[in-house]
Amino acid sequence: MKIIHKRIVISGSLFLLGLFLLAGRLIQIQLVSTESFSKHKVNLIDESVRQRTHSFTINEGRGLLLDRNGEMISAELKPAVILFPFLQGEAKVIDKVADVLGKSPSVIRRAIEGHEEPFVIADEKDDITTETMERINKLKLPGVYAHYIARNKHSEFASSLLGVTGQAPEVIKKNYKDKLDKGMISVNTKIGKTGFQQAFDPFLISEGETKLIYHVDRSGSPLFGLNVKYLAPSNPFYPVSVKTTVDSKLQAILERAVDVSGIKNGGAVLLDVSSNELLGMVSRPYKTGLSKNQMLTRHAPGSVFKIVTAAAAIEHKDLQKERTFDCDLGIDGKKAKHPLGNLDFNSSFSQSCNRTFGLLANDMMKKDHSMLDDYAKKLGLTGRSGWNGQVYHYQDFKQFPEEEHATIWADRYDKNQPLAISQTAIGQKDVQVTPLSIANMIAGIARGGKVEEVKGATKILYKNGNTLLTFQDHKKKAEIQPYTAQKLQMLLRGVVTDPKGTGRALQGLPYAVAGKSGTAEKGKANTSNKWFAGYFPADHPKYALVVIDLDYTGARTTVISAYADIVKKIYNNDKEK
């Protein structure tokens, strides 16, 4: 008996303990941790409301990216007819909708049966017009609404530049704690992850969606009749728009030229010389959210870097004045792969003689070990080329946050090694620069030596069109002398006009081109980085353009063909203005 009694007591105690634990858990769920349940900090109230609410998002509330002419480039507005699933069985309503849309009632009925959430009734052939929307809304049918809906563009147009958005709860908690605590956003609010979407995310991030909602019971039927509510943020100034410097027509020209040329890994950068604004940028390959922007990534520039060595030599005239160089030899003093004979400084530049610039760099480094670094800085290659500075409480706001820093030397001891100096002088060894910085250097030379930071956006605009913020020009402090810039302009033009120049294939274009080619060997067998960086028209510079093929094999003239195509198309575009 005592054993049985003991078992009963233990069983009863365990049962009561289980009840207490269950009650405690219910108290925690229902009263204590309603807004921050479990290690995942789940808001149970929000989740409960979400389960009982059906909604259709008309606009996520995220700010827009505009091109330089004010046209949307990150999203598009589409006319749409939205149907709610509680219309099942509403035969008269379905018949009226079908009549306006020119569809069979059975088609609409089947569509409604296949959805548990509000949806857009459309297919690829549908062309919802403004007139159709007006007719639908005049009917005032419950559960049927016509409205413009905003959706992100899912095309490859300027994809790497504009960037992508996505959910990142941990980033939200870290970067937007104040807005999260005030309930202005949730951990599921989309943020910019790459490109301009990332750069301008503090301004673009949504402060509330515009949507149609209704509440349902457990069976999915309307809880408060057939009334659908329209919810929208009350702030008349948001969402804002970022007015970028991108020219949509020129961007399209760049993209088509790069693709037609066969460049699979590389791209192009186009700047406005007078304003130093980015007009277009293309990076290949592109896979949504996965690919690096190659135009903001550093690469070996090859002979394009000879511009830096040339600038230093020009400002130290005694090193190259009335001097010829044995261009039958390479930088190591052995027979060159492509012997060019004895050349003066100008011809050495246009025909890209490695020996000349290796010797000049060594002479200069004997006088000053920082010579190449100093001129790379003066020409805008080192440091950030993209606009950065203080914007409100953001101390280091970057318009191109993915931009990588250039490197000139990886080992300071190389500054004492003649061969390493020669390799660096011709853009090999450890020299790594971004196509954006090369374009910035070219634009600075075309302007007469004045180097500025590249702008990708000029303004941030309130919803009503008024200006919230203007990005001012940022000029670099160090720059080359005007005479040096003029001499470099002459050298760059000679690359194209010299019958033996490396850019002679660009002669005869409607806009005269000045520029420099470059080929940098890579560890990958039989491939190299192939560049052409220049500006046009040569006599009155308007555009600075860089094209690069990062997997060049020599089988096709990808870079030159793309460059020529772009110059021709831009010339035609300018004529049409």
N- to C-terminal Cα separation, the chain: 105
Q: DSSP secondary-structure letter at 31?
A: I
Quick one: tokens of 260?
A: 């037609």
CB neighbour burial string for 102-129, b if at least 16 within 10 angstroms, e if fewer: ebeeeebbebbeeeeebbbbbeeeeebe
Q: Answer for the pair 289, 194: CB distance below 8 angstroms, yes or no.
A: yes
Catalytic residue, chosen from 160, 241, 283, 303, is 303
CB neighbour burial string for 277-292, b if at least 16 within 10 angstroms, e if fewer: bbbbbbbbebeeeeee
* Residue recorded with tokens 């002088």: 425
Around Cβ 492, how many Cβ atoms within 10 Å? 25
Q: Is 275 a catalytic residue?
A: no
| Phi, then psi, of 378 in degrees rounded to 5 | -60, -30
Quick one: tokens of 163?
A: 């960037």
Residues 6 or more apart whose CB falls under 8 angstroms from that of 398 comprise 199, 384, 386, 387, 388
Q: Answer for the pair 517, 502: CB distance below 8 angstroms, yes or no.
A: yes
What gap in Å lies between CA 457 and CA 161, rounded to an integer?
A: 12
Catalytic residue positions, numbered: 303
